[in-house]
A and B are shown apart, each in its own frame.
Chain A
Amino acid sequence: MPFHPINREGDCEMVKTRRKITALRVLQVLFYALGFPLFVHLVLLASSSYRDSYFVAGFGAWKPVIYAAVLWAVVILAQLLFRAVCRKNRMARTVLVALVAAVITVGPILYCDFILKNDYESDAAAAEEKGVSLPSYESAITSFDEYVATTNSEIQQFIDVFYLETFGSRNYNKGGNTDGTLSGYEDADAPYNELPYTIEVEYDAENDIYYSPNGMFVDGYRFGYYAAKQVLTDYYYNKLNYKPRNSKDNIDVYLGEVLAELESNPNSDWNKYKRGAAASSFAMEGFEYIYSSSEYDNAYGENGTANKYYITKDRLDEVLAVLSAALTEQSGTINDVIKGIIAALDLFKVDLGPTFDMIIGLVDTLMQELDGLDTDKLLSMLNDTKITLEDGTEQSIAQLVFGLLGMEVSGDLTWETLQELLASTAISVYISPSTYPIYYFIEDEGLRDYAYAKYYATVHGAKIGSLLVDESPANGVEYVGHVTMSSSGTINPYTGSQLLSLFEKWDTEKEIQGKYYPFFILRSTLIKMSAVITFTLIAAYYFTSLIDKQYAKLTLKAEGGRK
């Protein structure tokens, strides 16, 4: 190769070229970044409120961003393809890529406005028929984040009122649930013979509910949104749609009758179940025991597994024996206190009326019968001591005491009715997870759903401090939710029918949010970005070509040493 001395002018030129290349590279990257990368970032920002929605979780929450990334990926693939196909013709390549970019970005907008719009509007019309009004398509595509936020705050209020665990439920308990791990007996049937035996808990992911083998919510299960919605729907739907048979009838009366029949009829499935009769003898079709025909006896019989989890008659006898011994020791003092109170009432000229007389009467009777007090003796005392009320009617102390507590006793108070009262007020109730509850044997499906829902809403809810329904509101004010030793709960702001329509609304919104909102988010960003993306992509190609041109100059110089 011949030698060419290099002149200074040429060298300067080359340096300038290199600087130009650097500047062009910056512009090339900048313009590329202003296209799809910026677009994906904007979709990420625009979808942040969507990701906060209670109704989308996990993969679903990232749909808008994933869609945006897919659009970008398609264009990258097209770029690679055109690079291979049009190797020489840079202009043709640019035009083709610009075309793809335009189609890819404008396409979804057109898809939304011409296809999805019709779907959305027909869904909105269908929702309207169910009494749920959705925003117009034009409002939805612009203000989707406001709608998400509004629904979220409605649901948050629902969670707060009923003191739900959070939107999600919870089944976490120290050492397992009472129904998760229990002490068994070596000589018992499976699974009770495993020490300690474990009862499987089944998780229903769709409704976020943990179930025991008997099909009931596990002990200590704390409602999430879906469980509370299911319980309240079953409760109010059946209650409000019940057709009374006469003027005094309602679903609770009907349920009471059905349960009484199941209890009293020796041939009812419930009684057969308790006796452990052959499964084939049940009126219910396809009945099967959970473990074995002795499962009820294993739980509630003598030394049954369930007995230590609620107040049994033996337990109550133990408690009463201790109390009666203590009171006997202090009977003299008690009499003195009563006398003192009566004297003070006279002194202050206070008349407490029949309530006070009743209490004094009860204490008086109790003091006389203290010796050997047990459940039976207490019950007969409560039934036999009568008080004449101001209106002249006579009532037993049992009726009066339980009446004051908001519970009704018809006839004499027996151990069974007392147990029912303790159970229905959630003071002492335990349904073994290894046995079916009586509700399982109710034939009428609607009534059965109602019975379960009523149990969950009032008894289970009262246990866990998440009361869903207050069945005996004081002065018509229903207190629900966080009813504990230190909190009186929240005044229920919803009526049953309001709740049912809210659930309808939220169900519809869940569906709409999942089905349309990712596209609406994409559309809202594309509207602003489609032209920008196409333009910046072309610009990036243009700068690439300029860079290549500058390189060509460099190569020329290096070879020839001059222009």
Chain B
Amino acid sequence: MKKVLKLLLFIIGFPALLAFVAWKSVIVLQEGSSYSFWPYVGLILAGVIFIAYLITFIVTGKKSKKNAGNRKKVMRQVVALVLVSFIFTAGIWLVVDIPLPGILDSATAGTVTFDKLREDYADQAEQNGLLIDNFVKWNYANGNLDNGKSLDYWLEQGWSAPEVKNLVSVNFKSIDKNGYVSFRGPWINLADDDRLTIPVLVHLVLNKREFNEEIDFIMNYEMIPNLIQTDDNPENFNRGEELTEEQKELLVKWSILDMQGTPMEIAIDLGNMQSLVTYLLGSMSELIAPLLYTLNEAIADDALAGTPIYIGIDATEGNFALKIGSTVEARGMWDYKKSAWLNSNHLLFAVISLFPARQWLYLWGAVVIFASLAIGALRLKEFGGKDEENEDAAEDAYNAYEPDWAAIDAEATKDMSPYEKTYYYAQQARNRR
């Protein structure tokens, strides 16, 4: 019976905890399925902790059995088990939680915060899962990934395919070294912190930057954006061009809009000119589009931004807006922040996977500690033998009429000779019987 009880208590402790961690890690494992062992790091850590606990559990059990009868020694095993159960659950995290936010902040340059991951790791896992999926889709569309194989094949392979891994790392190096790193403070920081003013934009476009000519960028096919989006032709891209070998060798640079990713839309209220403009866009789009392409090519000149910034018109659904777009999607990339995440997505998945483990080690820690104590109590009962002192204390606590004989005896015999003591105890024993 005791064995069953002990087993039950053991199961509701760490094994249950491990099961919860596994359950909560499912989303992380699914989203990061192509990142080999990285999304399993949290689960592995919980497993290692469990093994450490299990070893303690077995060792303390064996020692208790070995020292059966010696209450003090058995008690020591109980204390050890309870201590280990605390240290390996909440204890470890109370310590890790001190440096972790700082480490996370510096590792991700403040883009992934501890507070965000603490409870909302599932959402972060989904976001990071999307990073690789969309990256594969875009690069399949622009021919960077072999179209001889199906898109589903590439999506399934994900980061585990060497081609994808190479593409992520080579192309990130370009957006990093010939993009983000080439900008200077304070301008880039102002843009990053929601302070992209006209002066900041002008400076980021026109300030001289230094580029690294050695850095490659893999691109076979350039998607050309649809610069006049109307209800008849609302697509983001309307054609593409196979790049020549010469074009492939050209240095790829990145503008500030590539760092930001999302296009800027400046809505213009046309009022009663709406029908006129619609008419003009309808009748003259073949004339206006080449003008916009030429303007974009001029912007891409080294004297200006050195890379295209797509200025277009969005006239869909009765709106009229100037759209200033970046090249990232056409080049098969995310904006800078997400590209940086994607580049170290395996590490991010490892970090994210820690959080279900953290949450449940904290949450279930109390149950593990209780289970350990309960198992310890059973072991004490089983192997601890009789503890006179404790039993007396217990009796004393519950029976108000029974005096504390041991204390009284000790007090009374304090100054007695051995002979007197013997006599005293004999008399007391008789009395008390």
Known interface pairs A15-B404, A173-B189; A426-B199 also in contact (CB < 8 Å): yes
Q: Which residues of A contact B275 (CB under 8 A)?
A: 348
Q: Smallest distance from the beta carbon of A184 to chain B beta carbons, Å?
A: 15
Which residues of A have CB within 8 Å of B54? none
B residues in contact with A484, CB < 8 Å: 194-197, 200
User: Which residues does chain A contribute within 8 Å of B189, judged by CB atoms?
Assistant: 172-174, 220
Q: Distance (Å) between the CB of A420 and the closest chain B CB?
A: 15
Which residues on A sit within 8 Å (CB–CB) of B405? 11
Among B143-151, B167-175, B419-427, the one that faces the other chain is B419-427
Q: Is A337 an interface residue (CB 8 A)?
A: yes
* Contact A309/B188 with A8-B403, A14-B403, A322-B303 known, Cβ cut-off 8 Å: no
B431 to chain A, nearest CB (A): 8
Choose among A172, A325, A427 the residue that contacts B199 (Cβ–Cβ < 8 A): A427
B48 interface residue (CB < 8 Å to A): no
Contact (Cβ within 8 A) A340 B284: yes
* Contact of A348 with B276 in the complex, beta carbons under 8 Å: yes
B185 close to A174 (CB less than 8 A): yes
Complexed CA–CA distance, A180 and B427 (Å): 94
Instruction: Specify the main secondary structure of chain B where it touches its partner.
Output: helix
Q: Is the CB of B197 within 8 A of A561?
A: no
Across-interface contacts of B294 in A (CB, < 8 A): 326-327, 329-330
A374 within 8 A of B: no
Closest to B408 in A: A11
Determine whether the beta carbon of A323 is less than 8 Å from that of B298.
yes
Q: Closest residue of chain A to B295, judged by CB?
A: A326
Q: State whether the Cβ of B279 lies closer than 8 Å to any Cβ in chain A.
A: yes
Number of residues from B at the complex interface, CB < 8 A: 56
Determine whether the beta carbon of B190 is less than 8 Å from that of A220. Answer: yes
Chain A residues whose C-beta falls within 8 Å of the C-beta of B269 in the assembled complex: none
Interface segment among A152-160, A241-249, A459-467: the answer is: A459-467
Contact with A along B377-417 (1 / 0, CB 8 A): 00000000000000000000000010111001001101110
A149 within 8 A of B: no
Beyond A14-B403, A174-B185, A319-B304, whether A337 also contacts B199 by CB under 8 A is: no
| Contact flags B187-231 to A (C-beta < 8 A → 1, else 0) | 111100011111111110011100000000000000000000000
Please name all residues of chain B whose beta carbon is closer than 8 Å to the beta carbon of A347 when the two chains form the complex.
279
CB pair B276 A485 closer than 8 Å: no
**Is A178 in contact with chain B by the CB < 8 A criterion?**
yes
Is A3 interfacial (CB-CB < 8 Å)?
Answer: yes
Q: Is residue A77 contacting chain B, with contact meaning CB distance below 8 A? A: no
B146 to chain A, nearest CB (A): 37
Smallest CB gap from A325: residue in B = B298
Could you tell me if A429 and B199 are in contact, using CB atoms closer than 8 angstroms? yes
CB-CB under 8 A from B279, the residues of chain A are 344, 347-348
Is B287 in the interface zone, CB < 8 Å from A?
yes
Q: Which chain A residues numbered 50 to 108 have a C-beta less than 8 Å away from chain B?
A: none
Chain B residues near A340 (CB, 8 Å)? Answer: 280, 283-284, 287
Contact A428 B283 (CB under 8 A): no
**A219 CB–B CB distance under 8 Å:** yes
Contact B412 A322 (CB under 8 A): no
Contact (Cβ within 8 A) A485 B198: yes
Our pick among A322, A341, A344, A345 for the contact of B301 (Cβ within 8 Å) is: A322
Measured CA separation A174–B414 after assembly (Å): 78
Contact flags A327-343 to B (C-beta < 8 A → 1, else 0): 10110011011001100
* A561 B412 Cβ-Cβ under 8 A: yes
The answer to whether A311 touches B288, judged by C-beta atoms less than 8 angstroms apart, is no
Encoded as 1 (CB less than 8 Å from any B CB) or 0, chain A from 450 to 468 comes to 0000000000001111100
Complex-state Cα separation, A556 to B114, whole angstroms: 65
Chain B residues numbered 287-329 whose CB sits less than 8 Å from any CB in chain A: 287-288, 290-291, 294-295, 297-298, 301, 303-304
B264 interfacial contact with A, CB 8 Å:
yes
A1 and chain B: residue at smallest CB distance? B415
Q: Is A279 in contact with chain B by the CB < 8 A criterion?
A: no
A205 within 8 A of B: no
- Cβ contacts under 8 Å, B99 to chain A: none
Interface check B186, CB cutoff 8 A: yes
A486 at the interface (CB under 8 A from B): yes
Q: Which residue of A11, A309, A334 contacts B203 across the interface (Cβ within 8 Å)?
A: A309
Known contacts A173-B186, A220-B189, A558-B414: does B206 contact A462 (CB below 8 Å)?
Answer: no
**CB of B184 within 8 A of chain A?**
yes
Which of the residues B185, B196, B287, B428 comes within 8 Å of A178, measured between beta carbons? B185
Residues in A neighbouring B291, C-beta threshold 8 A: 330, 333-334, 337
Question: Does A6 reach chain B (CB closer than 8 Å)?
Answer: yes
CB-based contact B184/A463 at 8 Å: no
Tell me the smallest distance from the CB of B49 to a CB of chain A, in Å. Answer: 38
Q: Is B429 part of the binding interface, using a Cβ–Cβ cutoff of 8 Å?
A: no
Distance between Cα atoms of A312 and B207 in the complex (Å): 10
B17 to chain A: closest CB distance in Å? 37
A486 to B321, CA, bound (A): 13
Residue of B284, B288, B423 most packed against chain A (CB within 10 A) = B284
CB distance from B311 to the nearest CB of A (A): 12
A315 on the B face (CB < 8 A): yes
The answer to whether A465 and B203 touch across the interface, beta carbons within 8 angstroms, is no
Bound-state CA distance A557–B401 (Å) is 19
Chain A 286-316: CB-based contact to B (< 8 A → 1; otherwise 0): 0000000000000000000000111100010
* CA A219 to CA B304, docked complex, whole Å: 23
Are the CB atoms of A1 and B416 closer together than 8 Å? yes
Q: Is A174 a contact of B195 with CB atoms below 8 Å?
A: no
A200 touches B (CB below 8 Å): no
CB of A545 within 8 Å of the partner chain: no
Asked if B98 CB lies within 8 Å of chain A CBs, one says no
B273 within 8 A of A: yes
**A485 to B404 alpha-carbon distance, docked (Å):** 84
Question: Could you tell me if B208 and A220 are in contact, using CB atoms closer than 8 angstroms?
Answer: no
Residue of B190, B208, B416 near A3 (CB, 8 A) is B416
Q: A15-B403, A220-B185, A486-B196 are in contact. Are A428 and B284 (CB under 8 A)?
A: no
The complex places the Cα of A18 from the Cα of B201 at a distance, in Å, of: 82
| Binary CB contact string for chain B from 248 to 280 against chain A (1 if under 8 A, 0 otherwise) | 000000000000000010000000010110011
Most chain A Cβ neighbours within 10 Å, of B199, B203, B273, B295: B199
**A392 at interface, CB cutoff 8 A:** no
In the complex with contacts A333-B287, A465-B197, A6-B416 CB distance below 8 A? no
Contacts of B202 on A, CB cut-off 8 Å?
311, 427-428
Scan A164-184; emit 1 where CB is below 8 A from any B CB, else 0: 000000001111111010000
**In contact, A337 and B264 (Cβ under 8 angstroms):** no
Residue among A175, A345, A466, A482 facing the most chain B CB atoms (10 A cut-off): A175
A319 touches B420 (CB 8 A): no
Closest chain A CB from B259 CB (angstroms): 11
Whole-angstrom distance between the alpha carbons of A323 and B300 in the complex? Answer: 11
Chain A residues near B183: list those with CB within 8 A: 174
Selected A-B contacts with CB under 8 Å, 29 pairs: A1-B415, A5-B424, A6-B428, A12-B403, A15-B403, A174-B188, A174-B189, A178-B185, A219-B186, A220-B185, A308-B207, A308-B208, A309-B203, A322-B298, A337-B287, A337-B288, A348-B276, A350-B276, A426-B197, A427-B199, A427-B202, A428-B202, A462-B199, A464-B190, A465-B190, A465-B194, A486-B196, A558-B411, A558-B412
Chain B residues proximal to chain A, CB less than 8 Å: 183-190, 194-203, 206-208, 264, 273, 275-276, 279-280, 283-284, 287-288, 290-291, 294-295, 297-298, 301, 303-304, 401, 403-405, 408, 411-412, 414-416, 420, 423-424, 427-428, 431
Pairs A-B, 8 closest by C-beta atoms: A220-B186, A173-B185, A465-B195, A326-B298, A318-B303, A308-B208, A174-B185, A173-B186
Q: Give me the interface of A with B, judged by CB distance under 8 Å.
A: 1, 3-6, 8, 11-12, 14-15, 18, 172-178, 180, 219-220, 222, 308-311, 315, 318-319, 321-323, 325-327, 329-330, 333-334, 336-337, 340-341, 344-345, 347-348, 350, 426-429, 462-466, 482-486, 557-558, 561
14 new A-B pairs (CB below 8 Å) besides A340-B280, A347-B279?
A1-B416, A11-B403, A12-B401, A173-B186, A220-B185, A311-B206, A322-B301, A323-B298, A330-B290, A333-B287, A340-B287, A426-B199, A464-B197, A558-B414
